[in-house]
Structure 1
Amino acid sequence: MGRSGRVTLSDVAKASGVSRATVSFVLNDDARQTISVATRERVVEAARELGYVPHGIARALREGSSRIVVLIVDRGIEGNFSRSYVRGLDEELTEHDHVLLVRHGPAAPGATRKILDAVVPRAVLRLGEAYLHGPGPAGPDEQDWESGFAANAALQIGFLAERGHTRIAMALPDHEFPLTEARLGFAREAARRLGIACPESFVVPRPREAGAAAVEAFLAAHPEVSALAGFDDDIALRSLTALRDLGLRVPQDVAVIGFDDTEYGSLSTPALTTVHIDAEVLGRIAARDALGIDTQGLAPVRGQVVDRASV
């Protein structure tokens, strides 16, 4: 067996007493090659006994891409949602003998196109595709409000409202993320459903001093705001740090909640309350949809608030 632990063509060739090329011809069922029945049987038997499995990428390329699925992950979608989604997508594709190729953005112009032209994938997926351009005129359906991205985004607002916060602001990143408009739309609709004021929004930039100045200016203009909902944990932690730098107490003076649980929030003081999203099932559903397989029995799991100390 090869040093890596994975059985190779060379291992099968050695066990069956033929060349590596002959093994390749037999296992690929190359009709252009004339190989005796006895030799074919010997190679197949050796491969079976050794547990040989063709390398996924090589096989996908050989089959003209039918076993490659490409996932494009835009900048700013990198928390637990992304990690769990990719895990579910990869495991489901593997179970059905396919290969996942993840492309993280941003990419140079034309770079992704070159990859797609090279592998001609079975399918191309984009994480969060349904929400990249905002909720749309009709908004998300009720199923999305039950267990989809809308429901997860609404958890922030609902958790703050349950604790008496009726004037809430969304703290946003200092550069455009694909899901910003969708998140704002969901937050505003969640507030409307709860009967509280429409959330204000403002940017919390880097570096630390700029973030503190932005939070100070915003709170001076909106003294009624008692809680900040971060676009993600990173922005929530920037906000929490800014508040402490300004001499404000969290959560006594201003509460802060994150989103998409990067786990760094557990290390802050006070520890950051956040929304944890497990999207593994969504990844599995996406894999089956891409392969044309029934998704019956798979249902999205609603996120959960990780209640720490910042609210």
Structure 2
Amino acid sequence: MAGVTSADVARESGVSRTTVSYVLNDTEGTSISEATRRRVLETAARLGYAPSAAARALRSGRSDLVLCVLPDWPVGPVVETILDHLADALGERNLSVLVHHVRGERPLSHLWRAVTPRTVVGLTPFDPDEARGMRQAGIQVVSTGVDDPAAQDPQPRIGRIQVDRLVAGGPRRIGYATTDDRRVADFADRRLAGVRAACAEYGLAAPLVIPVPVDAGAGATAVAAWRAAGVDGVAAYNDEVAFAVLAGARIAGLAVPRDLAVIGVDDVPLAALASPPLTTVTQAIEREASYLAACVLAALDGEDAPAPPHGGPVLVERDSA
């Protein structure tokens, strides 16, 4: 039955709406028989009644929902780790996490006004007007700074670490395997800026940039173009792109790293299982995810946000570079 209300439950149970409210909200201090309580619960379950989150928040003065606003990024191992940590930390407080993946131009206010969350967490800074509107509605707003332009940007440093490792291993002509996913082009461009700067400092030619979809055939095409240009070391946007490059090298019959060194970013679980095991740069995402969860819990408790964790991207040495 669609649109079932507490009135429907009351009518089917033969009790008042007040009694239904007391039973469904487990209100203390009421004298309701066990038989009546059971009848109301069974009727609500049979009818498929679900109490309004907004009404429940209005009655209790607080919501048990945390809305996490995810930008238009692909959901891969990094984002999944962040969300897992957040859900685990909030679950210990009996709070639920609703993830909203931004698509299109629809204002965020359409969502938070409908679900009335207790807290809204953004993985990038909110529009100032949106943040103001949420605060005026009594909603806590936590902007995490995971990709805050005002914070120190680790992305160029990632590119520099990649070039440092490739040059240390011997390659003198560098290729850059960028992503074809425009949703993360800004990340890729900032990492590429670090690669370019490092190549210039080493006196190397500018990196030969080729977009590489996560596909073995695309990897083979890119590898052929790099080899024709004398490239012997490739820095990839992330580990998934690096896997495509490794596959392309195998198709071309090249030995990695002797013929072509490859280095990725993120240190996803499969990186250690690649053939050969992938040298990569970790962003210590577990640490960043724990920091995000701590920021949200501090906001819930009315405390100041913790200091950002120390440290930056770190090389993970394996066999591919």
TM-score band w.r.t. shorter chain: 0.5 to 0.7
Equivalent in the alignment of 2:296 = 287
Q: Which amino acid aligns with 1:159?
A: R
What amino acid is the match of 2:219?
G
Structure 1 residues 162 and 59: CA distance shift in structure 2, 3 A: farther
When the two structures are superposed, what TM-score results if normalisation uses the length of structure 2? 0.63
Displacement of 1:272: 1.6
- Count of residues in Structure 1 that have an aligned counterpart in Structure 2: 258
Contact 1:70 1:125 in 2 (8 A): yes
Residue matched to 2:90 = 93
Find the counterpart in structure 2 of residue 192 from structure 1.
Answer: 197
State the percentage of identical aligned residues: 26
Q: What is the Cα deviation at residue 203 of structure 1?
A: 0.7
Q: TM-score, normalised by structure 1?
A: 0.65
Tell which has more relative contact order, 1 or 2 (C-alpha 8 A, sep 6+).
1
Aligned twin of 1:307: 317
The one-letter amino acid of 2:236's match is G
Change beyond 3 A, Cα 1:256–1:87? same
> Alpha carbons of 1:176 and 1:297: their partners in 2 closer, same or farther (altered >3 Å)?
closer
Query: What CA distance in whole angstroms lies between the structure 1 residues aligned with 2:180 and 2:236?
Result: 12
Distance 2:250 2:110 in 1: 47
Write the mapping of 1:1-311 to structure 2, written as runs, cut at 5 A: 21-24=21-24, 27=27, 39=31, 61=54, 62-63=56-57, 66=63, 67-72=65-70, 74-79=72-77, 81-104=78-101, 107=103, 110=106, 115-127=111-123, 141=152, 144-145=153-154, 151-152=157-158, 154-178=160-184, 180-189=185-194, 192=197, 195-196=201-202, 197=204, 198-205=206-213, 207-220=215-228, 222-223=229-230, 225-276=231-282, 277=284, 278=286, 279-288=288-297, 291=300, 293-296=303-306, 299=309, 302-311=312-321
Tell me the CA shift for residue 255 of structure 1: 0.6
CA RMSD of aligned residues (A): 3.9
Structure 2: tracts of 5 or more residues without a match = 1-18, 35-49, 126-144
Match of 2:183, SS? coil
User: Which string of whole-angstrom CA distances, capped at 9 and with x for unpartnered residues, describes residues 164-202 of structure 1?
Assistant: 445433212223133x32333244236536823454421
User: In 2, distance between residues paired with 1:96 and 1:72?
Assistant: 22
Supply the distance in 1 between the matched residues of 2:215 and 2:270 (Cα, whole angstroms): 18
Report if aligned partners of 2:298, 2:306 keep a CA contact under 8 Å in 1. Answer: no
One-letter identity of the residue aligned with 2:216:
R
SS in 2 for 1:247: coil
CA contact (8 A) 1:153 1:187 kept: yes
1:120: how far off?
3.3
Deviations 1:220-242 (A, max 9, x none): 2x31x321122122110101111
| AA in 2 matched with 1:216 | A
Offset at residue 290 of structure 1 (A) = 5.3
Contact 2:176 2:207 in 1 (8 A): yes
Distance 1:242 1:200 in 2: 16
- Take 1:294 and 1:58, find their aligned partners in 2: how far apart are those partners? 34
1:91 maps to a residue whose letter is D
Higher mean Cα deviation, 227-236 or 113-122?
Answer: 113-122
CA distance in 1: counterparts of 2:294 and 2:30, whole angstroms? 44
- Counterpart of 1:310 in structure 2: which amino acid? S
Q: CA deviation at 1:252?
A: 0.5
2:210 is paired with a residue whose SS is strand
Partner of 1:177, secondary structure, is helix
